[in-house]
Structure 1
Amino acid sequence: MTTATLAGPRKVHVPLGERAYDVLIGGDLIASAGEEVAARLGRRRAMIVTDDVVAPLHLGALSAALADAGIAAVHHIVRHGEGSKSLEVLARTVEAILDAGLERRDVVIALGGGVVGDLAGFAAAVARRGMPFVQVPTTLLAQVDSSVGGKTGVNAPQGKNLVGAFHQPSLVIADTATLSTLPERHRRAGYAECVKVGLLGDAAFFDRLEALGARALTERIDEAVATAVAAKAAIVVADEREHGQRALLNLGHTFAHAVEHCAGYDGRVVHGEAVGLGLALAFRLSARLGLCPTADAARVEAHLAAVGLPMRFSDLLVDLTAAGLRAAMAQDKKVEDGVVRFILVNRIGDAFVSSSVTPDALSAFLVDEGLPAP
């Protein structure tokens, strides 16, 4: 995997053999998206999948860029929010691709945040038994995390991301200029996935972010996105199908996915907010178990609080119980032989997978964190 700064965008190359692709990072890249797609995939037809919030902001510019490069594009717009990551919306998206007459070598383009990327990527994975797709992430969360690595999928009533496929993109175009249209809440939420990279394996990166404090949300953003993407790409290359090392990218997510599930994906808690809380919980649990210095847990909590992320269950507008969270965790993808696996830490920048957290220890921790006991 290589990282380069071009005359224009930064480029992170993800070397996965015949599935290798580039991640382009920089401002105003949508204007040249058509050229980049045509250079890699030819002048095929395209289906742009986006949502009703992103479409008024960026669909016209992307459609024009594709047309300028000789790529005829149609679009399919879904409702914004986690509710669109469902089997029902997936079916409608696949039907839109087929109704448009797109062929197997045509391209599906995801324009939006993580929900759109996961949905469109999964639709591309199953339509015509697999079509190429391009990620054009417009949120910080999607740019640093969900657009890279090939995980696609939708939620099920039993839990988050339980139905999906590994389907690598052919290209990722992370136009950081689109971040200016993000509400502050969603910029903070995306930052949780960015700082996660430092916490799980790059203490020096966390040090730089910590020094910026709240300014990390807006300053040196291209550099931060490129660093996070390069780190994630290296892990994906080493463990594409999440048999080992890639599970570290789920730091904070066992808690986060359970919180989202219990909240009903209704918008009261967005993914990055749940991840921010999950990161703090993972460090506090590690400290409680004697694995991690309490000073490291305190540093993490102080920095995440400084950027405005929730640090306690009481910060959420959701009524949760220890029993409810434990039941949701039992459906987590990382469960093996009925045991919930957590990503824990020895220190900032040193995470590991653990199956040693007992149900009683977990329940006691959740109650001590302020949740009602069963």
Structure 2
Amino acid sequence: MTERVHVPLEGREYDILIDNGLLARAGEEIASRLGQVRAAVVTDENVATHHLPALLDGLRAAGIEAASLTLPAGEKTKSFTYLQEVVDFALAQRLERRDALIALGGGVIGDLVGFAAGIARRGMPFIQVPTSLLAQVDSSVGGKTGINSAFGKNLVGVFHQPRLVLADTGVLDTLSPREFRAGYAEVVKYGLIDRPDFFRWLEENREDIFAGGSARAEAIAQSCRAKAEVVLRDEFERGDRALLNLGHTFGHALEGATAYDSTRLVHGEGVAIGMALAHRFSARLNQASPDDAVRVEAHLKAAGLPTRIQDIPGPLPDAETLMNFMLQDKKVEGGKLTFILTHGIGQSFIARDVPASEAQGFLRDMLEAR
């Protein structure tokens, strides 16, 4: 049965559909919302091998003409170079303003193509067809798009909502165990923000989620609902939406410090370490019990995720380097750090004006810990 999560943004509402076999129905679902548009599908080399033919067949079955562009896989594709390539490709296909860009891939492709759609012809419709667990539960929902800069992650982009999200659960079977684990970190995040009962449910159902049982689709649907509710309250991240960055201030700094080298660290792994650090930092600031940090770390470890900076292979950055990346974070205002901290499981809050010296001292201690 298809799970449907509706995101009722006024004038820009859209559905998130969650089911097995949605690639084959993609054309039908798109045509019912956009009509007989033309499309450009953008994907990466890994995803193209597994899923591009099925999507193109699904589009053709509904009479949607589509060209495809395949890019290199990996975080480094989120760059100005490939942004220009996607925009130029769409224009070369003579796509019109009502035609669509379709992002077939994980968070990298979704963020890149969403940004391209937001600026090509001053804004074109785009469809998210996320193929990783991380993208299905997080990056495909909410309209945040962008690319990376030498100064940090996701510093260039626009808010541009998709017209439809098609989360085909069947495609997750082609993920490597590492990619699936990385996506699971974002699922856990929703429980830690403000849904303690969901976190407890994850503790009880983690094995079934990883095995592809019925709990998998439920976990995806619950995650999408959680994110959609926050987006509806604060679409442009001026308030509560910052809570969705739990673990990301630390995680993005670690990604930047490792030069976005996916052999060392992928986004979800950075988030997992970041969430563990956020709970330890909260305990250090006497905002939460150390027992909560232990519980969070235990669950992440049970899922096979890293929880400490030392879990990253290769040379580690020093505390000053990490602080420099954190000070470039989008959540810095007036040069002052903002962290998402917690009073306990499911009790996250926005902490403004955290002293940089306190954060740097904490990072130094974490790097020296054994």
Band the TM-score falls in, shorter-chain normalisation = over 0.9
Q: How far apart in 1 are the matches of 2:145 and 2:48?
A: 21
**Map of 2:253 onto structure 1:** 258
**Map of 1:133 onto structure 2:** 126
**Per-residue displacement from partner, 1:315-357 (whole Å, max 9, x unpaired)?**
1014221011000001000001001110000111111111242
Q: How does 1:218-233 map to 2 (within 5 A)?
A: 218=211, 219=213, 220-233=215-228
Q: Confirm or deny that 1:78 pairs with 2:78.
A: no
Shift in Å, 1:216: 3.7
Provide the identity percentage: 54
Q: How far apart in 2 are the matches of 1:214 and 1:280?
A: 21
Residues 214 and 306, structure 1, Cα contact 8 Å, conserved in 2: no
Q: How far apart in 1 are the matches of 2:162 and 2:48?
A: 21
**Map of 2:82 onto structure 1:** 89
Shift in Å, 1:217: 2.5
Shift in Å, 1:214: 4.4
Q: How far apart in 1 are the matches of 2:325 and 2:78?
A: 18
Residues 25 and 176, structure 1, Cα contact 8 Å, conserved in 2: yes
**Map of 2:238 onto structure 1:** 243
Q: Confirm or deny that 1:16 pairs with 2:9.
A: yes
Q: How far apart in 2 are the matches of 1:56 and 1:213?
A: 29
Shift in Å, 1:371: 4.7
**Map of 2:189 onto structure 1:** 196
Shift in Å, 1:362: 1.0
**Per-residue displacement from partner, 1:94-133 (whole Å, max 9, x unpaired)?**
0000011111100000000000000000000000100000
SS at match of 2:172: helix
**Map of 1:320 onto structure 2:** 317
Indicate how the Cα distance of structure 1 residues 23 and 228 shifts in structure 2: closer, same or farther if over 3 A, else same.
Answer: same
**Map of 1:310 onto structure 2:** 306
SS at match of 2:58: helix
Q: 5+ residue gaps in structure 2? A: none
Q: Match for 2:325: what amino acid?
A: A
Tell me the TM-score normalised to structure 2 length: 0.97
Q: Confirm or deny that 1:276 pairs with 2:269.
A: no
Q: Match for 1:198: what amino acid?
A: G
Q: How does 1:1-374 map to 2 (within 5 A)?
A: 8-218=1-211, 219=213, 220-267=215-262, 268-318=264-314, 319-371=316-368
Q: How far apart in 2 are the matches of 1:145 and 1:160?
A: 16
RMSD: 1.0
Indicate how the Cα distance of structure 1 residues 371 and 158 shifts in structure 2: closer, same or farther if over 3 A, else same.
Answer: farther
**Map of 1:4 onto structure 2:** none
Structure 1 runs of 4+ aligned residues shifted over 6 Å read none
Q: How far apart in 1 are the matches of 2:206 and 2:30?
A: 37
